[in-house]
Amino acid sequence: MMNTYYITIKDFCSSHEIEESFVFTLGEYDLVTVEIVEQEHYIHQEELPKLEKMVRLHQDLGINLEGLEAIHHLLERVEQMQSEVHLLKNKLRKWEE
């Protein structure tokens, strides 16, 4: 069975010097998934790079939540298109053989 690792939102926010409300708001925008276990709020470790990117974009570039939502959507779309290109290249390679 695969281990699942979480970090508390409180710990994340403390180490990044941000308000917990920012992470909760990202959760409301469906940009990160906030999980609740025994009345404690957590973020899955796989969400950390995405969450850290959102924090940097917000803090360093001053991008608001609507902008973060748009960027997130565009990045997901680019990732999807890259997967499609990879799949098509593989199909083309097989067809050429």
Q: Look up tokens 């990202």; give the residue.
A: 26
- Joined together, the tokens standing for residue 70 give 């748009």
Amino acid at 58: H
Per-residue pLDDT of 53-95, as tens digits, reads 999 999 999 999 999 999 999 999 999 999 999 999 999 998 8
47 class by beta-carbon count within 10 Å (0-12 exposed, 13-18 middle, 19+ buried): buried
- Joined together, the tokens standing for residue 34 give 């906030």
Q: How confident is the model at residue 3 (pLDDT cuts 50, 70, 90)?
A: low
Per-residue pLDDT of 6-38, as tens digits, reads 999 999 999 999 999 999 999 999 999 999 988
What secondary structure letter does DSSP report for 27? H
Contacts for 24 with CB less than 8 Å, ≥ 6 apart: 9, 34, 41
Is the pLDDT confidence value at 4 over 80?
Answer: no
**DSSP secondary structure, 38-68, as one string:** TTEEEEEGGGHHHHHHHHHHHHHH---HHHH
pLDDT at 37: 87
